[in-house]
């Protein structure tokens, strides 16, 4: 152990790092990350480098994964980003990496050694790689996939009237004849159901902050619950308490990255959700003879040839073609129209790293706004300080586009006017300081009205945000117990809206009566929730399967992808409209009545019987006998897509995917404490008592206390 650094676990197994200097504090964080989550960070690096076939599993599935990450090329210029760091922060990052390497040199994960992998030293560029992965995967990736879906819908023959109903006021630049000519190499739906590719795994989150004028303590309260995949072990988050002199920082960290991503210090608290900022664009390129056209001039692509080393098969060589619009989806030596795609955060690194590390030294909400707003990837930040100020700030590199272009529709790449023209300053993004109503809520909803620009064109529905606002709007002072209860709220405003239409149309049978009397809550014992979801699934199957996508495609999108999960507001808009081209020659009532008669001719089950899942080990999940304990469950999930307690289970790319609150945290700035639970435990070691120690709390709604001076048992971490 490094001199002047002490690391111990509190009674809940959460590591505490104490150090004399801030640099040593980050050394200790790196040590804990490698000690408790060595498997997690090394696996993430292998994925990001596109080396799964070389180091872990040489299969065709792994080759597809490697090709995806090689295409994204997030290693590009990572060293240059490290060199951009000021000496101050470069030292912090170097100490963090030294801590990781110190722990790995003592004991590397046996699971990887079993596969013949000897961990290479962790470098600062590896942390930049993971930061880019965190900002894109299942986040900006979802925007890229919905834009690709639009192209596929055009090519599948969905007419403009139906597209306008799904994407109102967003298709002004749509050239359907041009998009029909585009050669798509990667598709969302596989060939056997007409279209083709891996689908997005989407994500949601809630956060809110309440002014001291509305709390019992007189100080702000902040709550956050990032919704990530929870059916994997170890838990995504690694909780930590960092202590330096009289100062502390504690909350959720991501193994491989230094600093606290969501949590608090002695001065500040902050929480994050994803914004659905459109930071990804595609362009249509006119290609021939390995070149692309700009105006009337033909230009050579930059080429990048990558060799994927394979353990059991011949090495795979692939060439990528790149220009100012990103990476081409195709081979320009074959004449035709192809898409290039670019993400604004692809070259992020130094600035974001400095901002996150700087949060440990910030004291006020104003300082936090400047730091968090400057982060290069897209997040909604809510902030509170001990002096009583609260704030909201969006971050992310929002491209400046020509007037009239919103980023959803691919535009001709040969017209320079369609290029990006720099990025919007974060001061123009949505932001609020000390809102008049005394609180602020974000839940992946449309927040454009709070800024000078409109960064969001495909938000999630506002059901969760409106429900939290309803819960906060009470005529009494709010306290911590209120926040805990709100996190577990399972009332659905989405179901309320649909039942207003469906109620008078329900069939006169047992299922119809149960659904008519449903309290609109997605509890484990609810038959009404089970019946409503059955109706809802039948409804959009009837509408979108029969009148647009085709039945096979609709079933694949709903059962094997996150398209209907993440962007259901677009489909709800169609389903709830009084008239729609998607209804064919039927009225809305006729469509609803037919779906209800089909779906509700059934013996009801409970929501808990359907909403069950296993927590599977990230490497050995489903491959070892259950009695060995690498996998846990099954567990019952409550909630739905539209409830504050998020509860979604679906298949994506052939595997079960879940989105629930991966971490719940609440803090009152009146006290130096943070209340949390996570879907797992502190350690990725199967035979550690801390492997899954917090799961019971997470399921039952109990919160443990993180504090710089914990009570109870303390165990050294060696």
Whether the predicted pLDDT of 214 surpasses 90: yes
**4's tokens:** 């002047």
pLDDT of residue 551: 57
Query: What is the Cα–Cα distance from 381 to 665, expressed in whole angstroms?
Result: 14
Does residue 279 have a cis bond before it (omega within 30 degrees)?
A: no
Q: State the CB neighbour count (10 A cutoff) for residue 302.
A: 11
For a pLDDT cut of 90, what percent of the chain falls above it?
76
Tokens 């004449």 sit on residue: 335
Whether the predicted pLDDT of 202 surpasses 60: no
CA 472 to the chain's CA centroid: 25
Whether the predicted pLDDT of 16 surpasses 80: yes
Query: What is the Cα–Cα distance from 260 to 239, expressed in whole angstroms?
Result: 9
Whether the predicted pLDDT of 646 surpasses 70: yes
Interval 312-334 mean pLDDT: 96
Check if the beta carbon of residue 345 is closer than 8 Å to that of residue 140: yes
Query: What is the Cα–Cα distance from 374 to 394, expressed in whole angstroms?
Result: 9
Whether the predicted pLDDT of 190 surpasses 80: no
Whether the predicted pLDDT of 189 surpasses 80: no
Domains of the chain and any CATH numbers: 493-609 (1.10.1400)
First-to-last CA distance in the chain?
7
> Tens digit of pLDDT for each residue in 297-307?
999 999 999 99
Check if the beta carbon of residue 496 is closer than 8 Å to that of residue 520: yes
> Tens digit of pLDDT for each residue in 425-469?
999 999 999 999 999 999 999 999 999 999 999 899 999 999 999
Whether the predicted pLDDT of 199 surpasses 60: no
Tokens 């050394």 sit on residue: 27
pLDDT of residue 557: 65
DSSP-derived secondary structure letter, 450: G
> Tens digit of pLDDT for each residue in 112-151?
888 888 889 999 999 999 999 888 775 667 777 788 888 8
Interval 25-32 mean pLDDT: 98
Determine phi and psi for 397, rounding to 5 degrees. Answer: -85, 95
Strands (E), 410-540: 411-412, 431-433, 439-442
**153's tokens:** 């819908």
409 to each of 150, 180, 281, how far by Cα in Å? 8, 13, 8
Interval 349-370 mean pLDDT: 96
Indicate the helix (H) or strand (E) that contains 54.
helix 52-55
Q: What is the mean pLDDT of the chain?
A: 91
> Tens digit of pLDDT for each residue in 380-415?
999 999 999 999 999 999 999 999 898 999 999 999
Report the sign of the C-alpha dihedral through residues 32, 33, 36, 39, in that order.
Answer: negative
pLDDT band at 650 (very low <50, low <70, confident <90, very high): confident
pLDDT of residue 231: 87
pLDDT of residue 90: 96
Residues 6+ apart with CB under 8 A from 488: 638, 644, 645, 701
Indicate the helix (H) or strand (E) that contains 23.
helix 22-49
Residue of higher predicted confidence among 645 and 557: 645
Whether the predicted pLDDT of 655 surpasses 90: no
Query: What is the Cα–Cα distance from 170 to 8, expressed in whole angstroms?
Result: 53
Check if the beta carbon of residue 705 is closer than 8 Å to that of residue 673: yes
pLDDT band at 489 (very low <50, low <70, confident <90, very high): very high
> Tens digit of pLDDT for each residue in 251-295?
999 999 999 999 999 999 999 999 989 999 999 999 999 999 999
pLDDT band at 517 (very low <50, low <70, confident <90, very high): very high
Interval 184-203 mean pLDDT: 45
Output the furthest CA–CA distance in the chain (Å, rounded): 77
pLDDT band at 508 (very low <50, low <70, confident <90, very high): very high
Residue of higher predicted confidence among 392 and 623: 392
């Amino acid at each position: 152990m490094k001199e002047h650094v002490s690391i111990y676990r509190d009674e809940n197994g959460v590591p505490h790092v104490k150090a004399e200097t801030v640099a040593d504090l980050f050394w200790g964080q790196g040590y804990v990350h490698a000690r408790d989550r060595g498997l997690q960070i090394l696996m993430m690096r292998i994925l990001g480098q596109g080396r799964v076939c070389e180091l872990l599993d040489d299969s065709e599935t792994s080759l597809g994964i490697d090709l995806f990450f090689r295409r994204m090329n997030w290693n590009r210029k990572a060293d240059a980003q490290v060199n951009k760091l000021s000496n101050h922060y470069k030292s912090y990052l170097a100490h963090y990496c030294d801590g990781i390497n110190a722990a790995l040199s003592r004991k590397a994960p046996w699971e990887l050694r079993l596969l013949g992998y000897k961990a290479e030293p962790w470098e600062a560029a590896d942390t930049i790689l993971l930061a880019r992965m965190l900002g894109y995967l299942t986040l900006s990736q979802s925007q890229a996939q919905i834009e690709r879906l639009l192209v596929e819908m055009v090519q599948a023959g969905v007419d403009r009237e139906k597209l306008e109903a799904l994407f109102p006021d967003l298709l002004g630049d749509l050239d359907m004849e041009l998009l029909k000519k585009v050669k798509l190499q990667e598709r969302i739906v596989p060939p056997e159901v007409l279209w083709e590719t891996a689908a997005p795994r989407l994500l949601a989150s809630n956060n809110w902050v309440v002014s001291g004028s509305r709390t019992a303590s007189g100080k702000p309260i902040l709550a956050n619950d990032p919704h990530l995949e929870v059916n994997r072990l170890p838990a995504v988050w690694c909780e930590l308490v960092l202590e330096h002199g009289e100062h502390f920082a504690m909350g959720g960290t991501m193994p491989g990255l230094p600093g606290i991503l969501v949590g608090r210090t002695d001065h500040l608290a902050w929480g994050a959700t994803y914004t659905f900022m459109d930071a990804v664009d595609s362009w249509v390129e006119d290609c021939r003879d390995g070149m692309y056209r700009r105006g009337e001039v033909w230009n050579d692509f930059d080429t990048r040839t990558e060799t994927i080393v394979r353990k059991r098969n011949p090495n795979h060589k692939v060439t990528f073609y790149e220009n100012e619009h990103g990476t081409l989806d195709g081979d320009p030596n074959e004449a035709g129209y192809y898409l290039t795609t670019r993400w604004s955060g692809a070259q992020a690194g130094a600035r974001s790293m400095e901002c996150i590390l700087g949060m440990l030294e910030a004291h006020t909400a104003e300082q936090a706004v400047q730091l968090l707003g400057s982060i290069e990837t897209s997040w909604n930040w809510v902030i509170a300080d001990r002096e009583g100020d609260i704030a909201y700030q969006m971050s992310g590199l929002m491209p400046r586009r020509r007037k009239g272009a919103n980023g959803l529709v691919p535009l001709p790449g040969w017209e320079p006017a369609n290029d990006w023209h720099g990025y919007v300053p974060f001061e123009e993004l949505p932001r609020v300081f000390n809102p008049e109503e005394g609180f602020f809520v974000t839940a992946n909803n449309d927040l454009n009205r709070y800024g000078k620009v409109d960064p969001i064109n495909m938000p999630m529905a506002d059901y969760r945000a409106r429900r939290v606002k309803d819960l906060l709007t009470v005529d009494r002072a709010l306290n911590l117990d209120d926040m805990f209860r709100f996190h577990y709220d399972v009332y659905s405003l989405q179901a309320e809206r649909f039942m207003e239409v469906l109620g008078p149309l329900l069939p006169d049978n047992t299922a119809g009566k149960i659904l008519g009397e449903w309290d609109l809550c997605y509890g484990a014992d609810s038959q009404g929730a089970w019946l409503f979801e059955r109706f809802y699934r039948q409804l959009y199957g009837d509408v979108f399967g029969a009148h647009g996508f085709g039945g096979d495609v609709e079933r694949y999108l709903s059962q094997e992808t996150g398209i209907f999960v993440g962007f259901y507001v677009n489909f709800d808009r169609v389903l709830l409209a009084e008239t729609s081209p998607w209804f064919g020659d039927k009225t809305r009532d006729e469509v609803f009545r037919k779906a209800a008669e089909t779906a509700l001719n059934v013996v009801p089950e409970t929501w808990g019987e359907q909403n069950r899942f296993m927590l599977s080990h990230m490497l050995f999940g489903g491959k070892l006998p259950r009695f060995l304990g690498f996998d846990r469950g099954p567990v019952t999930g409550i909630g739905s897509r539209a409830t504050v307690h998020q509860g979604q289970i679906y298949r994506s790319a052939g595997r079960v995917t879940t989105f629930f609150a991966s971490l719940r945290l609440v803090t009152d700035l009146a006290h130096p404490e943070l209340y949390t639970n996570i879907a797992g435990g502190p350690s990725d070691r199967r035979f550690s008592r801390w492997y899954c120690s917090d799961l019971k709390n997470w399921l039952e709604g109990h919160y443990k206390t993180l504090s710089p001076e914990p009570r109870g048992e303390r165990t050294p971490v060696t």
